[in-house]
Structure 1
Amino acid sequence: MSGRNRLIYLPLGGAGEIGMNAYVYGYGAEGRERLILVDLGIAFPDMDTTPGVDVILPDISWLKDNLDRLEAVFITHGHEDHVGGVGHLFQQLKKPIHARKFTANLARRKLSEKGQDPKMVRTAPAFPETVTAGPFSVSFLPISHSIPESAALVIDSPAGRVIHSGDFKLDPSPIVGEAFDPDLWAEAAKPGVRALICDSTNVFSRHPGRSEAQVAPNLRPLVAASKGLFVATTFASNVARLQSLAKAGEAAGRSVCLMGRAMRRMTEAATEEGLLTDFPPTVSPEEAADIPRENLMLIVTGSQGERRAASAQLSRGKYFGMEMREGDTFLFSSKTIPGNEKEVARIMNNFSEMGVDVVTDDDGLYHVSGHANRPDLERIHEITNPQVVIPMHGEHRHLREHAKLAEATGRTGIVAPNGTMLDLAGNKPEVVGHVETGRTYLDGSALVGQFDGVIRDRLRIALNGLVVVAVMVDDDGDVLEDTWVDIRGIPEEVRGSASLSDMMEEHLAGALARISRKVADDDEALEDLIVKGVRKIAQDEVGKRPEVTVLITRLAAE
């Protein structure tokens, strides 16, 4: 195999998980392939595993190590798990970004917010026109999804044609954006498709996907029949749903108010790019406060339970002066993404305690998925007729099931989770390497590596508490008696009214009085003795092994 050019596919994020999409393609001699990156997304943290983290990003260390080979970045659509990392990671890449006009608008905003040059984002034409990046010729093939102007990528190289589906559904009437065009996709497949890298999110859903147009007729009677304030939440990026909700409010004689920065950003971008032309007029949050509740509809962010979003804040009290009351209605026009169930349920229960009527999509009336179900995946396989199907955008079980679906129709299906490098150039795809992949955390304003220990230490403190011990050692090597202990996150009172910190100080006073000069002069040995003593007391009294910080002060002779 040596000496020939390779066509590599390497997922750095999004294959084996839902979110944080980042896929590398390369063509050329081994180790010298020219590269392109498809998508640069984020995932969202949770308090159980990533407390305090703002955003989770793919680890692009391998890409940075090969930055001189990277030609460009291509973004399939404007969802955060595909474009959300652009602002955070562009400084490390500094390569041209190509996207269709609506997605490009969002990407430019992200660069501007981070003080980067928005001109690095270039608006790309749709199929069959192409963008050249090194040995690649890339075209944006329109596809319907739950956000306007989504696209698959038709990626041509000397090794043949690959289609990267992006996120998609087969929707003949998406309300906003382009309908699925099977003839256009068949045209894209005419030269032959070496590999289809394909969305796997809904591979376990065995009924055909439903159109966005089926939602609007159900929203109008719900809003019209409601009393008091009507509030709805959905994905801010689902511009078509925002329009359907707003029109339902307008038809019911209600003033419509968008609450949440993401809502306003999406509608502004869609209006600027001519995608929204008849969105009902809206009022500002300040104006909404003066409108009678029964004449008002709020469309708010936070469908996934995000703590800072409008939905969560309304469930805890007031937001922009608005509050929910008994008899009001709150609609979740969305599906809860796995992992967010606790946060969403907490909001629902808070509203229920207020006497608010909570309406969900449990009966399928008020939301449709933006991803292709199993029959739709089978149809896209048939239209493109690829030699190989490589599932992406799904947890490992989704990838495996999708590969089996491809094999059932006589095609080759390959499971390639994050870090797996495939060569697609030969007669049969083969694994040619593995790359270390992981996560990067945006923690405040700092980017923190997954294995840097910051989040690990935070979790340990959250689980076991923290003890701070301060000791002073004089120039003779004697530990002074005033050892000080402060505890955080551990019960202070034990055995009735005994103080845990007092018990630790008493133990340390006795133990430190007996240490040798050798131990007293060695910071590491002294710290180890203190940590073991403190942890033993905590384990015996409260069953915890806390994190221990030891502050050693050495007094010099005058």
Structure 2
Amino acid sequence: MSGQERLIYLPLGGAGEVGMNAYVYGWGAPGKERLILVDLGVTFPDMDSTPGIDLIFPDMSWLVQNAHRLEAIFITHGHEDHIGGLAHFWNELRAPVYCRRFTGHLAARKMEERGIDPGQIDVMEPFPEAVEAGPFTVAFLPVSHSIPESSALVIDTPAGRLVHTGDFKLDGAPVVGEPFNAELWHDIASSGVQALICDSTNIHAETPGRSEATLGSNIRELVATSSGMFVATTFASNVARVKTLAEAGRDAGRSVCLMGRAMLRMVQAAVETGVLTDFPPVISHEEAEDVPREHLMLIVTGSQGERRAATAQLSRGKYLGLELKADDTFLFSSKTIPGNERSVLRIVNAFSEMGVNVVDDSSSLYHVSGHANRPDLEAVHQLMKPKMVIPMHGEHRMLRRHAEAAEAAGIPAAVASNGTIIDLTGDRPAVAGHVETGRVYLDGTQKVGALDGVVRGRIRMALNGHVMLNVIFDEEDEPLGEPWAEIMGLAETGASRSSLVELIEAETAQYLARTDEKVLQDDDKLDAALRRVVRQVAVEEIGKKPEVTIVVSRLA
């Protein structure tokens, strides 16, 4: 091993936030390292800060510029915050993609949707099977999580072994998927672990996490003792929970109907890849219309209040011929992700007005997290005995608390936010530089930078409204007729009780009549002057300073 070479870790997304995961590892001389990428996910927009945006990606500019150094991409599991950006950036990165079978099924479908050959996806079996990617040898280590076939990565490098946990929990009975195998993890750690790069999401939870298997009896009892129609929502990717819910419906003598494309797609993928077996029979929504309410159970998408998902649709009335009524029961078998509270509460209140009995996760009887709590993380530290711990996947407060827990156990740790290069080569992690990072928005079909002004302009129009003023000049640069205005998102009348449009047109006409020829002949000066007039009228009349577009047409 040359003294000039180093082992680096570089998060481009997912460090300092929950979502949008993208982690780079590199080995080689500084600036010339051979690279691998672990995960390429998305996060989701909201109407307050990103109106009209479809998806949010990590800014991959640095990696795209260095794509000639990229050996491979590894996807730990199929959640959107780990896989959702893959197909959107693959044409720019063009590296082999490796993942487990279930994840590969989801990834292939995403590639096909964007016209990319799904043959770019290489499916791997779990450890000890491994693949060489430049100076790295990488294997998939099964872990428990809230989606099937989640995996940690065992990354062997010239500087030692890395273990990247991905999202995980300690669950010996996950219902669907592979249980946490402490003996296997111990064997992997026996040769020494240079660094443990570890999930930090639940570091603030002070009690050990609970198994998915603990929910079955509670859910069965709730379904069996509920009157009317029973409806439950959970994350569509939590196939184990969907199975538990469906079994509870079957055991209560209810016909089970899955509603929502994501729910149907995930269950189908789990069945086709063999990770889901013995799933109870289901009926179509057309068949569900003929089933008595007390004998019907719906399992639906939209646990986070997504406006177009089945849950929100049901809260607004009928959905695919079915509707909720008084004394029906609606179960949120999920945790509300921070930021989604208002959307979920809007739905809960709509159901309440219908007389529906809403049950949420506040009792902890019907939902368990897919992430390891602090005692579980500390147990993994002890099990792996790494030379150092790098917290990842979490807000900054989570990363910091995780680093403090590791240091308290005598393990060196470092908090690395997005864009921070950490040198993992020595006995302690060391900051070795920074790269520019940020966010990229998918706006319709186009990617736009967070600083490009697209969203900022959209927010300004939403906050201030918009006025378009049209002016025509003849061949001699004289106004031809009166200016005419159009408004959007503004009150039609103001303090004087007169039409805002008419006042804007009158004031701008007077301005054109009294201004000198030099201004009338200079489009830039005319634009600036008319904007001032329009805004002055708007401020005086309605107390708003709108966005203004001036359209000057000349016949010359």
Relative to the length of structure 1, the TM-score reads 0.98
- In structure 1, the residue matched to 2:555 is 555
1:295 and 2:275 matched: no
Alignment of 1:138-537 (within 5 A): 138-495=138-495, 497-537=497-537
Matches of 1:219 and 1:114 in 2, distance apart? 39
| 1:526 Cα deviation from its structure 2 partner | 1.1
Corresponding residue pairs, total: 556
- In structure 1, the residue matched to 2:10 is 10
Contact 2:19 2:81 in 1 (8 A): yes
| 1:477 Cα deviation from its structure 2 partner | 2.6
| 1:288 Cα deviation from its structure 2 partner | 1.4
- In structure 1, the residue matched to 2:129 is 129
Contact 2:495 2:540 in 1 (8 A): no
| 1:469 Cα deviation from its structure 2 partner | 0.7
Gapped regions of structure 1 (runs ≥ 5): none
Give aligned-pair identity as a percent. 62
- In structure 1, the residue matched to 2:39 is 39
| 1:330 Cα deviation from its structure 2 partner | 0.7
SS in 1 for 2:361: coil
- Alignment-mate amino acid for residue 94 of structure 1: R
SS in 2 for 1:493: coil
Matches of 1:97 and 1:124 in 2, distance apart? 10
Contact 2:165 2:199 in 1 (8 A): yes
| 1:496 Cα deviation from its structure 2 partner | 5.5
Per mean C-alpha deviation after superposition, the further-off stretch among 309-318 and 425-434 is 425-434
| 1:481 Cα deviation from its structure 2 partner | 4.2
Matches of 2:143 and 2:2 in 1, distance apart? 38
Matches of 2:303 and 2:457 in 1, distance apart? 30
Per mean C-alpha deviation after superposition, the further-off stretch among 379-388 and 298-307 is 379-388
- In structure 2, the residue matched to 1:90 is 90
| 1:31 Cα deviation from its structure 2 partner | 1.2
CA-based RMSD: 1.4
| 1:2 Cα deviation from its structure 2 partner | 10
| 1:429 Cα deviation from its structure 2 partner | 2.3
- Alignment-mate amino acid for residue 41 of structure 2: G
Per mean C-alpha deviation after superposition, the further-off stretch among 369-378 and 48-57 is 48-57
Matches of 2:411 and 2:533 in 1, distance apart? 63
SS in 2 for 1:282: coil
| 1:514 Cα deviation from its structure 2 partner | 2.3
- Alignment-mate amino acid for residue 525 of structure 2: A
* CA-to-aligned-CA distance 1:11-54 (integer Å, 9 cap, x gap): 11100110010011111111111111100111111111111111
Give the direction of change, closer, same or farther, for the CA distance of 1:119–1:510 in structure 2 (3 Å limit): same
Per mean C-alpha deviation after superposition, the further-off stretch among 437-446 and 97-106 is 437-446
* CA-to-aligned-CA distance 1:232-263 (integer Å, 9 cap, x gap): 00000111100000000000111111111111
Matches of 1:3 and 1:412 in 2, distance apart? 22
| 1:398 Cα deviation from its structure 2 partner | 0.8
Matches of 2:441 and 2:505 in 1, distance apart? 38
Per mean C-alpha deviation after superposition, the further-off stretch among 208-217 and 433-442 is 433-442
Give the direction of change, closer, same or farther, for the CA distance of 1:11–1:37 in structure 2 (3 Å limit): same
SS in 1 for 2:346: helix
Contact 2:255 2:297 in 1 (8 A): yes
- In structure 1, the residue matched to 2:29 is 29
Matches of 2:516 and 2:423 in 1, distance apart? 63
Matches of 1:434 and 1:479 in 2, distance apart? 56
- Alignment-mate amino acid for residue 94 of structure 2: K
| 1:515 Cα deviation from its structure 2 partner | 2.2
Matches of 1:29 and 1:512 in 2, distance apart? 66
* CA-to-aligned-CA distance 1:322-381 (integer Å, 9 cap, x gap): 111111111000000000000000010111111111111111000000001010110111
Per mean C-alpha deviation after superposition, the further-off stretch among 163-172 and 436-445 is 436-445
- Alignment-mate amino acid for residue 55 of structure 2: V
Structure 1 runs (4+) greater than 3 angstroms displaced: none
Relative to the length of structure 2, the TM-score reads 0.98
